[in-house]
Amino acid sequence: MTTTQPDDFHPTTDAVLRTEELTREFGDFVALDRVNLDVRDGEFRSVIGPNGAGKTTLFNCITGALAPTSGRVRFRGEDVTRMAPHERVRQGMGRSFQISTVFGGLTVRENVRLAAQSVAESEGKIPFHRSLFSPTDRFEEVESRTDEVLSEIGLADRSDEHARALAHGDRRRLELGLVLATDPDLVMLDEPTAGMGNEETQRTIDLINDVLAERTLLLVEHDIDLVMNVSDSVTVLNRGQVLTTGSPEAVAADDEVQQAYLGGVRE
Ligand code: ADP
Ligand code: MG
């Protein structure tokens, strides 16, 4: 048994997401080095760091895409370290943009409905057997969740268009809608603005902040400026280690953070 240090910003026991000494090695190289995170209910946490800091490795160890070499991941207290990715999604750990699939040949509405339906069935949120709900009620619940999501992402008036006809920014909205449709307790995003220009990047961050305001969010991002206005707290990773966790203001003023960024590769 090891005792673990909670992260230095929220030494909290009621973390939605917790990593304990999370470590991932690739051969001799330590990509992730004893990382402790505690993300509370409703918190918007950003994890930032220069390219190569270990952000995606951390993200993958949390989603289950990658097995950590040592350490643990807990979701609502439960040890999910060895749980398959789809199992984690069912537990309420939301899929990210990257692994959500938009079907180009289906309409916007059909895409959202499929996502809403998949969770309604697999989670048993709308019980199939021994249910008070008739198939019609279930259909209506999925339909109304679909409508809600379409209006939340601002695509209600484009719901009958094929997904492949959407402009890049609208496609991102739809991808966000697919995450929302599964009603996750924790939403995790790895560089959701990758490949976007300045204006679209800002709009996407505003959209995330707006649409996901009520959710617990873990956003991985290399652009430090981008997350400063929207995050409740920021964790800085550097060379696989947590440099610091704190409020955006405290992190921005931190000398070590400045150095990591100036010393690291920054695009
Ligand atoms: P970030 O997302 O912060 O840019 P990554 O987590 O992708 O960083 O990578 C952290 C380090 O781990 C990098 O030096 C990278 O080259 C290395 N790395 C990542 N994945 C692998 C892998 N599958 N095999 C070997 N090295 C890897
Ligand atoms: Mg990355």
Q: How many CB atoms lie within 10 A of CB 80?
A: 20
Q: How many CB atoms lie within 10 A of CB 111?
A: 26
For position 126, what pLDDT does the model report? 44
Closest atom of ligand 1 relative to the 49 alpha carbon: 3
Mean pLDDT, each 10-residue run in order, the chain (267 residues): 49 81 98 97 94 95 96 95 89 68 93 84 48 66 93 94 91 87 88 82 83 88 86 95 95 88 56
Residue (of 72, 57, 49) closest to 24 by Cα position? 57
- Between CA 145 and CA 151, with CA 148 as vertex, the angle to 5 degrees is 150
For position 70, what pLDDT does the model report? 98
Closest atom of ligand 1 relative to the 190 alpha carbon: 2
Buried-state track 84-93, b at ≥16 Cβ within 10 A, e below 16: ebeebbbbbb
- Between CA 63 and CA 57, with CA 22 as vertex, the angle to 5 degrees is 50
Nearest bound ligand to CA 32?
Answer: 1
Class of domain 1-92+184-267: alpha beta
Beta carbons of 116 and 126 less than 8 angstroms apart: no
Q: Residue 258 phi/psi, 5° resolution?
A: -55, -45
- Whose tokens are 């040949």? That residue is 105
Residue (of 222, 140, 131, 208) closest to 176 by Cα position? 208
Nearest bound ligand to CA 58?
Answer: 1
Its pTM stands at 0.83
* Cβ 50 under 6 angstroms from ligand 1: no
Q: Where are the domains of the chain?
A: 1-92+184-267, 102-183
